[in-house]
Every structure is written in C-alpha cells, then in structure tokens.
Amino acid sequence: MITLQDKNILVTGASSGIGRQIAITASELGAKLTIIGRNIQKLEETLALLAGDGHKIYVIDLSDAANLTSLISESTAYDGVVFNAGVVEYLPVKFLNENKINSVFATNFDSNVVLSQKLMKNKLLKKGGSLVFVSSISSKLGVPGTAMYTASKAALSAFSKVLASELASQGIRCNSVSPGIIKTAMTEQAAHVVSDEELKKAEAEYPLGYGQPEDVAGLIMYLLSDISKWMTGSDLVIDGGFTLK
C-alpha cells in the first residue's frame, strides 16, 4: 500500500488543476504539505481541501528567484518535491518573439531549475527523497502551435535526467511524468483557442478519453513514495493510450 505518512512534501503550481489534486491526494496519504501558487484565494481553497493539519502555503511567483528567499529560509528538508507550475501558450513559430519565448521558458523551465538548485544548495532535500517534474506528452510530439510549450517541457524532462545522475549518490531520485490532455482549467482555457468542437474531436484520439487530475496524481504518489525506491531518471508517459494510435 502506498503511504506518504509524515513525509514533508513541496508542491508548486498548487492553486488549481493537477497541482491541487497532487496536494490533496498526498495529504490523504499522510504527507505534510507545503504548497506554492500565485493566487492566494485559490491556494487557500486548496489548503482547505487538504486532509490533516500542519500544512503551509506560500504565495510566490516562481518566475523571479528573488521571491524564493522566505520559502528557502523557513523550510525544513523535504522528502519529496513536485515541480508542477506551468503555463500553456499556443503560438505558431512565425509569431514568436524573444519576449514570448522568455516568458514561457521562465515559468515552465527556468523557475523549476532555479528552485531545485536552491533546495540542493541549502540542503533542503532529504536522502532517499524524490523529485518529480511534471512535463507533457507534447514534449514527444509535434503539435502545431505548441513550439515553446513543447520545447520548455522537453527541456524539463532532459534536465530531470541529468539531475537524477547528479543526485543518485545521495539516494535522491528524480523522475518526470508526461501526461496527455487532462481536464483542468488550463485545458478549458485552451478550448477557447481550439474551439469546443475541435477539443471534442481530439478527445476521440484518446482510447480512454481525456484524463482527470487524480489520474496524474496517482502516478505521482507512486513516485513520491518509497515503493518506487529503485526508479530514477525515468520519464513516465500517462496518456489514456493516446500514443498507441
């Protein structure tokens, strides 16, 4: 049975969607959570949904490393960290510019790298701990209009592998997960770009339909728990069979 009893777990992007569900499920398995998000109201909603007590929240915009100071100085070492914060932007390559490239990478890649670096440097990762990076199935595909999102997620998966090597001697594991389309506010927003009709057509490409946040959360619980103690450097696809087609 998977348990996270008394594990100290940090989750970024926990205001909504997959991140919120990861925090909720982890708390139900006994973890003490520190959750990070940009929206205080939504973050407090997540906090109210957590089982047990002793959880902490930090309202931080991770795209600026200067905002990490209080989190780093007030934290005790973590058994697990889920790097989940991310944004999606649909833009054909022809319309890219330096600002757009930087803003997507700042959130989806740079902020996660900087946070992991600060946690390491300040000895805030426990031996035997587990780091999980939330990537995307699109990092392995070539869906038109997703160049920067896809590139930033592919970079994250690649980073996770190198980090897995560097942390292996301390017994700290590092893996990424690549989900297919999950029904969240973020994909709802995408629906406004793609149109509801097209999103429904796209769902037909998923043998098991679109995923729910708890589907990804379940896989991440496995990675955070000691049951997966021999797994590191992997990128796990969870996509309802999408890539079978």
Annotated catalytic residues are: 135, 149, 153
- Measured from the CB of residue 236, what is the shortest distance to another protein in angstroms? 29
Distance (Å, rounded) from C-alpha 129 to C-alpha 7? 9
115 φψ region: left (φ > 0), alpha (ψ -120 to 50), beta (else): alpha
Please say which residue, 95 or 208, places its beta carbon nearer to another protein.
Answer: 95
- Shortest Å distance, C-beta 193 to another protein: 5
**9 vs 100: CA distance, rounded Å:** 32
| Side chain identity, residue 18 | I
Shortest Cβ distance from residue 192 to another protein (Å)? 4
| 3-state helix vs strand vs coil in the chain, percent to 5 | 50, 20, 30
What CA–CA distance (Å, rounded) separates 185 from 13? Answer: 13
By C-alpha distance, which of 133, 135, 136 is closest to 115? Answer: 133
Torsion angle (degrees, nearest 10) of CA 50, 9, 119, 229: -160
| 121 versus 192: smaller Cβ distance to another protein | 192
Q: Which is nearer to another protein, 74 or 196 (CB)?
A: 196
Q: Taking a C-beta distance cutoff of 8 angstroms, is the pair 38, 49 a contact?
A: no
Q: Which is nearer to another protein, 134 or 148 (CB)?
A: 148
What minimum distance in Å lies between the beta carbon of 196 and another protein?
Answer: 7
By CB under 8 A, the count of residues binding another protein is 15
183-202 positions binding another protein, by CB under 8 A = 191-198
Q: Which lies closer to another protein via its Cβ, residue 30 or residue 92?
A: 92
Comparing CA positions, the residue from 219, 207, 45, 37 lying closest to residue 134 is 219
What's the min distance (Å) between Cβ of 191 and another protein? 7
Binding mask 66-105 for another protein (x = CB under 8 A): ------------------------xxx-xx----------
Site for another protein in 136-165 (CB under 8 A): 144-145
Q: Would you tell me which residues interact with another protein (CB under 8 A)?
A: 90-92, 94-95, 144-145, 191-198
